[in-house]
Amino acid sequence: MHYPYQITSYEQYQAEYKRSIDDPAEFWSSVAENFQWRKKWHTTLNWNFTDPKIEWFKGGKLNITENCLDRHLEKSGDMPALIWEPNDPEEHHRIITYRKLHEKVCQFSHVLKNNGVKKGDRVCIYMGMIPELAIAILACARVGAIHSVIFGGFSAQSIADRLYDAQAEFIVTCDGAYRGAKDIPLKSVIDDSLIGNRTVKKVIVATRTRTAVSMIKGRDVWWEDEIKKVETLGLHDFPAEEMDAEDPLFILYTSGSTGKPKGVVHTCGGYMVYTNYTFINVFQYQTGDIHFCTADIGWITGHSYIVYGPLSAGATSLMFEGVPTFPDAGRFWDIVDKFKVNILYTAPTAIRSLMGFGLGPLQGKNLSSLKVLGTVGEPINEEAWHWYDEHVGKHRCPIVDTWWQTETGDCLISNLAGITPAVPSWATLPMPGLQMVLVDENGKELVQEGEETISGNLCIKGPWPGILRTTYGDHERCRTNYFATYPGMYFTGDGALKDKNGFYRITGRVDDVLNVSGHRIGTAELENAINMHAGVVESAVVGYPHDVKGQGIYAYVIYQGSHGQDTHGTADLVRKDIIQTITRIIGAIAKPDKIQFVSGLPKTRSGKIMRRILRKIAEGDLDSVGDTSALLDPAVVDEIKNGKL
């Protein structure tokens, strides 16, 4: 398949970038015309960043699944759409062609309809990494329902909060999931999340682990039983619901700098166009390539670069149920060789973890099929970049270092594989349509003079098709989080460097959000969870450099009694209790790496915690905590320094 909007040279990138900035509406209209629309849009772009209000392809009618499935059937129906590799390498993999995937999505669309799901309904999906997860997502989109996928590592309380926020009436889950050596009881967690819930009407349960589960009459149904009913009626097609370009496609919850997770909303038309465009250009996808994104579909990376990006491009997307170190640290390389993978897209955390096992797991692995490597989730450090380049790519595969966020939908800054320059640990150039700027604390745009490298807060002028439209049920929160800090601009929350070539290097969060193994965790959300432990008086959380995760979580906790010593045991036992509390409320992904018990926290006289000081101590930079004279109790800083873990 030829993609008319695929960039094939550095000169073309520069020309396309200029065209996209000079006339964004004309540029994106020319890209969007390559998709299947029921009705063409009457207005390409209508926007302001004050409300904010953003509309792309207004008046256009489509269904994203017709672009991901139906339009490929004639020429590519027998081509693999999904390759699924199970957790256990001894279990047989599955290859699902476009024709078969279309049939399965249509069948499950009937199942959703039969169980009362209609256009606009919110469907929560809490599943392991099995093909049925992708099928459920696409079926929701086909019937016009809004899917909200929740990562399988979240706790019952986290799910309950998200169900309540989305007012979801339907859930699709599994009996359980496999991840490495663990069995995760998904249905049991869903049952716990539904205690007291008054909105959920149906829970559809797919069989995976064959673990014993509770099935409530009238509410819970088995996926397989529901599919049999559809098959008995001989229903193999399902007419896709006509959607407006600006109708919501999905909600995906992400941590922010305040306690409550926010539901980022992406819409049908703009998200589809931008996801497809970035997939084809960043990875330089060629027809027949096998694309292996190692992310979980519970995160935005999986939405965009396992499901919607590859499938809208008619690509073959590889889904992996397991983890990179099970049954051993050679698993990724086994998968690459087994399926002759051409594009490997993974996280710096995974690379650093695999580096720790040495070169033994790579011995005897061919890896000659690889053409493009990619990283996502956080900036990649130079050591990991060079290891990836040398030992996985053998110095012949370009590495795309992609920077983006749940809110942005898809890649915003990245080199294009083999087309634009790659610089270790630099994300490099913005995608066409993205007008990036660096500003100082007051919002003044920083201008480069000569060949200097400048540093500031990363903002974006103007919208791109994949930008979030709102936060579900709370548009004011969307405005204050992203558009109010620097009026007239989208604020990313990240700091960045920009060099003389216009290349960007992301330096990390400048707000109270941690980036742990590529997952965003709000400090306020984490502190709220810690403070719910019965013995905790107060807490403060900061990030610190971590060799594998990028950022580790360091918690300072004031505990009743003396420094975590209570009548029931030692500080270590209390730490375990606090970690258990966090796991119950948020999930295991939010566990602190270090918990230091303190008698007080460094506060100003107005009561504000000086996290800057705590961050310096956690980083081991004890001599650079700065002036403490303005603190309510300066002596507490020395005590915290002396007790550093």
Tokens 């507490």 correspond to 636
Euclidean distance between CA atoms 143 and 114, whole angstroms: 11
Euclidean distance between CA atoms 123 and 108, whole angstroms: 13
Question: What is the mean pLDDT of the segment spanning 585-611?
Answer: 84
- Residue at 4 is within a domain: no
Cα angle at 55 between 54 and 57, to 5 degrees? Answer: 155
What pLDDT score was predicted for residue 108? Answer: 98
What pLDDT score was predicted for residue 173? Answer: 98
Least Cα distance to 297 among 157, 128, 466 occurs for 128
The residues that bridge with 555 in the sheet, in sequence order, are 541, 595
**The domain spanning residue 16 has which CATH number?**
3.40.50.12780
Least Cα distance to 269 among 409, 443, 94 occurs for 409
Residue that terminates a domain, selected from 198, 217, 241: 241
What pLDDT score was predicted for residue 259? Answer: 61
Is the same domain home to 72 and 56? no
User: Could you tell me the two tokens for 262?
Assistant: 């926010």
| Residues 6 or more apart in contact with residue 234 via CB below 8 angstroms | none
Determine the 3-state secondary structure of 116 from DSSP: coil
Residue 476: burial class (beta carbons within 10 Å; 0-12, 13-18, 19+): exposed
Euclidean distance between CA atoms 559 and 591, whole angstroms: 18
| Residues 6 or more apart in contact with residue 10 via CB below 8 angstroms | 419, 420, 421
User: Could you tell me the two tokens for 188?
Assistant: 């049991």
Into how many domains does the chain fold?
Answer: 3
| Residues 6 or more apart in contact with residue 165 via CB below 8 angstroms | 253, 260, 261, 263, 472, 473
Going through 502-618 in order, the beta strands assigned E by DSSP cover 504-509, 513-516, 519-522, 536-546, 550-559, 594-597
Is the same domain home to 478 and 621? no
Euclidean distance between CA atoms 221 and 173, whole angstroms: 10
User: Could you tell me the two tokens for 330?
Assistant: 């050679």
Torsion of CA 308, 313, 314, 318, to 10 degrees: -50
Q: Tell me whether strands 343-346 and 519-522 are parallel, antiparallel or unpaired.
A: unpaired
**Res. 625: pLDDT tops 80:** no
Euclidean distance between CA atoms 197 and 199, whole angstroms: 6
- Residue at 3 is within a domain: no
Say if CB 190 and CB 159 are below 8 A apart. Answer: yes
Euclidean distance between CA atoms 512 and 551, whole angstroms: 13
Is the same domain home to 165 and 57? no
Is the same domain home to 466 and 521? no
- Residue at 257 is within a domain: yes
Euclidean distance between CA atoms 636 and 631, whole angstroms: 9
Determine the 3-state secondary structure of 530 from DSSP: helix
What pLDDT score was predicted for residue 209? Answer: 97
Q: φ, ψ for residue 102 (rounded to 5)? A: -60, -45
Is the same domain home to 482 and 612? no
Least Cα distance to 403 among 443, 373, 431, 422 occurs for 431
| Residues 6 or more apart in contact with residue 581 via CB below 8 angstroms | 529, 530, 532, 533
- What's the Rg (C-alpha) of the chain? 24
Residue 579 domain boundaries: 513-642
> pLDDT-based confidence at 605, cuts 50/70/90?
low
- Compute the mean pLDDT over every residue in the chain, rounded to the nearest whole number: 93
Question: What is the mean pLDDT of the segment spanning 550-579?
Answer: 78
User: Could you tell me the two tokens for 244?
Assistant: 């407006």
The residues that bridge with 594 in the sheet, in sequence order, are 554
Say if CB 500 and CB 447 are below 8 A apart. Answer: no
Say if CB 574 and CB 566 are below 8 A apart. Answer: yes
- Residue at 5 is within a domain: no
Euclidean distance between CA atoms 132 and 190, whole angstroms: 17
pLDDT digits (tens, 9 = 90+) for 351-362: 988 999 999 999
Question: What is the mean pLDDT of the segment spanning 127-155?
Answer: 96
- Residue at 206 is within a domain: yes
What pLDDT score was predicted for residue 567? Answer: 45
User: Could you tell me the two tokens for 567?
Assistant: 């009548």
What pLDDT score was predicted for residue 186? Answer: 97
Say if CB 346 and CB 283 are below 8 A apart. Answer: no
Residue 447: burial class (beta carbons within 10 Å; 0-12, 13-18, 19+): exposed
Is the same domain home to 43 and 74? no
**The domain spanning residue 193 has which CATH number?**
3.40.50.980
**Res. 501: pLDDT tops 60:** yes
**Res. 569: pLDDT tops 70:** no
Euclidean distance between CA atoms 431 and 21, whole angstroms: 11
Minimum mean pLDDT among 127-141, 144-158, 529-543: which range?
529-543
What pLDDT score was predicted for residue 603? Answer: 81
Largest CA distance in the chain: 77
Tokens 């790496």 correspond to 593
**The domain spanning residue 551 has which CATH number?**
3.30.300.30
Render the burial of 485-513: b for 16+ CB within 10 Å, e for the rest: bbeebbbbbbbbbbbeeebbbbebbbbbb
Tokens 């800090």 correspond to 485
> pLDDT-based confidence at 445, cuts 50/70/90?
very high
Is the same domain home to 544 and 613? yes
What pLDDT score was predicted for residue 40? Answer: 98
Length of the chain: 645
Going through 463-512 in order, the beta strands assigned E by DSSP cover 470-471, 490-498, 504-509
**Res. 286: pLDDT tops 50:** yes
Is the same domain home to 278 and 233? no
**Res. 53: pLDDT tops 80:** yes
User: Could you tell me the two tokens for 197?
Assistant: 């819930």
What pLDDT score was predicted for residue 527? Answer: 86
Work out the number of other CB atoms within 10 angstroms of the CB of residue 629. 6
Euclidean distance between CA atoms 624 and 320, whole angstroms: 45
pLDDT digits (tens, 9 = 90+) for 363-421: 999 999 999 999 998 888 899 999 999 999 999 999 999 999 999 999 999 999 999 99
Is the same domain home to 33 and 135? no
- Residue at 14 is within a domain: yes
Is the same domain home to 185 and 209? yes
Residue that terminates a domain, selected from 219, 241, 263: 241
Residue that terminates a domain, selected from 210, 241, 272: 241
What pLDDT score was predicted for residue 608? Answer: 67
Three state DSSP letters for 50-95: CCCEEEEEECCEECHHHHHCHHHHHHHCCCEEEEEECCCCCCCCEE
Cis peptide before 602 (omega within 30 of 0): no
- Residue at 2 is within a domain: no
Is the same domain home to 236 and 261? no
- Residue at 399 is within a domain: yes
Is the same domain home to 454 and 317? yes
